[in-house]
Amino acid sequence: METLNQDLKKIITLFVKVAAKPASAEIAKKALLDDVHGAWTEPGNFKMELYSALGQPENYYLFERWESQEALEAHFAQPYTAGAFALQDGHLKEDIQMNYLTDLLPRPQDLKSDDSRKAFTTLIVPFEVKAGYGNEFAELFKAFVSSVRNEPGNVDFNFHRVDGQEDKFVLYERWRAQEFLDQHNQLQATSDFVAQVGPMLTAPVYDFVLFSKDISEY
């Protein structure tokens, strides 16, 4: 068990935002897809997904998980990764935002490469809570995570804290189909939880939700 815990702690999880200029959206998409597909060939990569969010046609989001910091450093040295970083030379509205995450409830299956490539329904939710509520919010969410993982159709429900940011969190959830997510959202337990944590947030819950489409295969 101790070895498992140590291995889980070594995993590097990243949530990355790439905001392209409108004229460079397709250039950015191609460079990011090259980076994603290249990462899939690397032995230290457990997950690398590229998302576009509804209503944000020029914004792209990467969710990735690496075996270790060494594996991530090896990825940074690849030419396709250099191509993605080179987008900052005139193609982006702002610098690439790289958020290193700590999974607050990791699972053993996170130690395996995720090669399913299935078209799951995915939500990514970057939360920001009011100053001083970070720890209380995290504890409430931990109990909720354990419950949701037992719901029908849930594939992933991973809750992360942004490293170095006490009041910022990222929820990553995948469902086998939209109907399962709809069922989850209609549960009384979900409504009760949203009502409980809502006052702790800097904006309404659904303002944070990125309704995302995985474009990794395109």
Chain segment 16-63, per-residue pLDDT in tens: 999 999 999 999 999 999 999 999 999 999 999 999 988 888 999 999
Which pTM does this prediction carry? 0.92
- How far is 90 from 170, CA to CA, in rounded Å? 28
Domain count, the chain: 1
| CATH assignment of the domain containing 55 | 3.30.70.100
**pLDDT at residue number 58:** 93
* Domain, as residue range, for 162: 2-214
